[in-house]
Amino acid sequence: MLDKLFKPKSIAVVGASTNKEKIGNIILRNIISTFSGKIYPVNNKSDNVEGYKSYKSLKDINETVDLAIVAVPRDSVPDVIQDAIDSGTGAAIIITSGFKETDQHGAELEEKIKSMASGSGLRFLGPNTIGIITPSFNGTFAFSDNIKGGAALVAQSGGLGVYMLNWAQKTRTGISYFVSLGNQTDIKESDIFEFLANDVETKAIFSYLEGVSDGDAFLNTVPEVTKKKPLIFLKGGTGKSGTAAIKTHTGSVAGSVDIFKAAVRACGGIFVESLEDMLNIAKLVSSSESVSRDILVITNSGGHGVLTSDAIESYNLNEIEIPDRIKENLKKVLPDQSVPRNPLDLSGDADSERYKGAIELTKDLDCTKLVIVQSLPMVSCTDVARAMIRYRGKSLVGVTMGLDEDAASRILESAYIPAFKFPEDAVKAIKYMTDRMEPVRKIRIPQPVSEAWKIVSGKSYIRDFEALKIMELYGIKTPRYGIAMDAETAQKVADDIGYPVVMKISGDEPLHKTEMNGVYLNVERDMVKDVFNRLNYKRVLIEEQLNGAEIFIGGIKDPVFGHTVVAGIGGIYVEVLKRLAYALSPVSEEEAEYLLNESNISKIITARKRNYDKNSIIRAISNVSRMIVDLNISQLDINPLIVNETGAYAVDVRMII
């Protein structure tokens, strides 16, 4: 329970300076101007701060304080936390920076306050936070004049959090809570999400994260949150430079952004690529309009209609077919040169009455009505906005383009209809909102196949022929294969398999066989001994040569989210194309199919009228997701998995425990 943090009846500001330029003073003044409960400045050098009696320490206050906001030098923080514990303070916000994000001494101090608070009953946010804003007080050192509303903002970066507050103010987006997470030494992002999920005022949660503090808590908490309300994520540290910067910013481990995306998707959240995307989604979730993947475009500009159609196709959304009965009625509204089809081009001479007529006839269609207006001499954006608000609740999304677009946006937003400046932004926001998965909790209970467990026990690397055996034990097909230590045995193995065969070096450690010239294809009977001698290696793996599409399936144990499956186009193209898709183990067949579509595997196996066995890939992905958990595999590469009409075959496998 975080009620003492978010709903205190009394607040103490420790480090409440008399200097108006100091953070402690700014926080105190913000508290005074917004909070109706009891306020206690704590300053060991002054008896009065901003007209309030000041106390030397928390212990000098005659009653128990619900919330202490701490803004003192870092070396003094442990003493303040001890005072808070001794005086029974309910919660604390540690504004002070200079902890694990700075140096070793800071990291030691942070660990000390964590240890002190653990088990004491005191919960604290931070350190290295700018504070929180709730419906009843502003506990930050940022100026905020936001209107109250349904959007909660959760930011690991204080600066970016302030930008989000400024944006909300400019766009008149109502805020329920703002939380600057800081270093998350005690209270984590999952704790905040859980509180906000149960807050009746909060309609959607927008979160900027640089790293997840506890992957297991995230995977357990977020699915429950997204069942109740949208949770939108933007992540920092998506590149190497950004990852390095995070270590000095909040001391977080950035983790793989691709695996973070997979975690968000599995939990039913929305991952966005940019702050702009996040802000555009806010327009939808703050509105009264429901949106769907099926879209009808209404516009007075053919060019805008074409560009919007392109965006709809690009984002794999659906442009609806207008029913015949409505087409007939639309002919009475449209000019002779206009055809009643989607996009519905009202023509450049359209006025607000024509817009109103088109919306009236299509209002009950089960789709998103994307209404675009380009201001022209015959119509203004505000004219169309006024026409649209009569149809509030009919799945309307507005796009206003012209000199009066801002005024028109205000009219729409006052009626809780989302308004955009560009149709592409609107379509992308709809894509994000309608692409959410049903949230699932990833339950991982290892149940290894006993024979496979015997193979991996006590080993760090599994040799290729052993890895092929494990594939078979987990229901994944392999080509016929065998190993040989000498040329005579190689000949016998190849004869048993049948020709042509593939011959490759087989090591006791991970090898890049192709780079070492350690793979020969199309080996016929009279070539076997010669190829064995050319390979000149202690052990050679001989396999049936298969034809088909080359797929890549991988597995990795992520330090934050655990075992994850990766899929993409295989062979040499893995490194070149880098079109990979990720899913957290265990992977359902539905999720596996998503991986095939996201990575373009589906296109490869159906190109040129191929009828390759799609279901065998889905089963292989699902089985691999179970196997890497069962055997606690840290890295797995199946490259290639060859797929043809008869199934999917693991041809080359590299496995590290």
Domain with residue 585: its CATH number is 3.30.470.20
Q: Read off the pLDDT of each residue in 328-336 and give the average, rounded to a whole number.
A: 92
pLDDT of residue 515: 80
pLDDT of residue 153: 94
pLDDT of residue 576: 64
Whole-angstrom Cα distance, residue 573 to residue 576? 5
**Same domain (yes/no): 187, 223:** yes
**Same domain (yes/no): 589, 627:** yes
pLDDT of residue 510: 80
What confidence tens digit (pLDDT) does each residue in 529-561 have? 999 999 999 999 999 999 999 999 999 999 999
Q: Establish if 490 belongs to a structural domain.
A: no
**Same domain (yes/no): 252, 210:** yes
Q: Establish if 450 belongs to a structural domain.
A: no
Q: Read off the pLDDT of each residue in 66-75 and give the average, rounded to a whole number.
A: 97
**Same domain (yes/no): 313, 398:** yes
Whole-angstrom Cα distance, residue 452 to residue 475? 12
Distances (CA, A) of 309 to 295, 306, 313: 10, 5, 6
238 has pLDDT over 70: no
242 has pLDDT over 70: no
Place of tokens 């396999």: 543
pLDDT of residue 130: 95
> For the chain, what percent of residues have pLDDT higher than 70?
96
**Same domain (yes/no): 340, 242:** no
Q: Establish if 123 belongs to a structural domain.
A: yes
pLDDT of residue 239: 54
pLDDT of residue 336: 86
Q: Which residue has the higher pLDDT, 198 or 575?
A: 198
**Same domain (yes/no): 281, 307:** no
Question: Which of these, 233, 236, 215, 269, lies nearest to 564 by C-alpha position?
Answer: 215
**Same domain (yes/no): 122, 148:** no
Which residue, of 419, 434, 449, is where some domain finishes? 434
Q: Which own/partner contact pairs does 388-392 have at CB distance under 8 Å and 24+ positions apart?
A: 388/355, 388/359, 388/412, 388/415, 388/417, 389/414, 389/415, 389/417, 390/356, 391/359, 391/360, 391/363, 392/288, 392/289, 392/416, 392/417
**Same domain (yes/no): 106, 168:** no
Q: Read off the pLDDT of each residue in 613-641 and give the average, rounded to a whole number.
A: 95
Q: Read off the pLDDT of each residue in 379-386 and give the average, rounded to a whole number.
A: 97
338 has pLDDT over 90: no
pLDDT of residue 243: 47
Structure tokens at 624: 């691999």
Which residue, of 70, 97, 129, is where some domain finishes? 129
pLDDT of residue 275: 85
Q: Establish if 457 belongs to a structural domain.
A: no
How would residue 213 be classed by pLDDT, with cut points 50, 70 and 90? confident
**Same domain (yes/no): 171, 123:** no
Question: Tell me, what CATH number does 211's domain have?
Answer: 3.40.50.261
**Same domain (yes/no): 553, 649:** yes
Question: Tell me, what CATH number does 71's domain have?
Answer: 3.40.50.720
The number of folded domains in the chain is 4
Q: Establish if 500 belongs to a structural domain.
A: no
Q: Establish if 139 belongs to a structural domain.
A: no
Question: What's the mean pLDDT when you consider all of the chain?
Answer: 92
pLDDT of residue 247: 39
How would residue 96 be classed by pLDDT, with cut points 50, 70 and 90? very high
pLDDT of residue 404: 95
Which residue, of 99, 129, 159, is where some domain finishes? 129
Q: Establish if 239 belongs to a structural domain.
A: yes
pLDDT of residue 34: 95
Task: Domain of residue 26: give its range.
Answer: 3-129
**Same domain (yes/no): 178, 270:** yes
**Same domain (yes/no): 348, 272:** no
Note the pTM of the prediction, 2 decimals: 0.89
Q: Read off the pLDDT of each residue in 36-42 and give the average, rounded to a whole number.
A: 97
Q: Establish if 535 belongs to a structural domain.
A: no
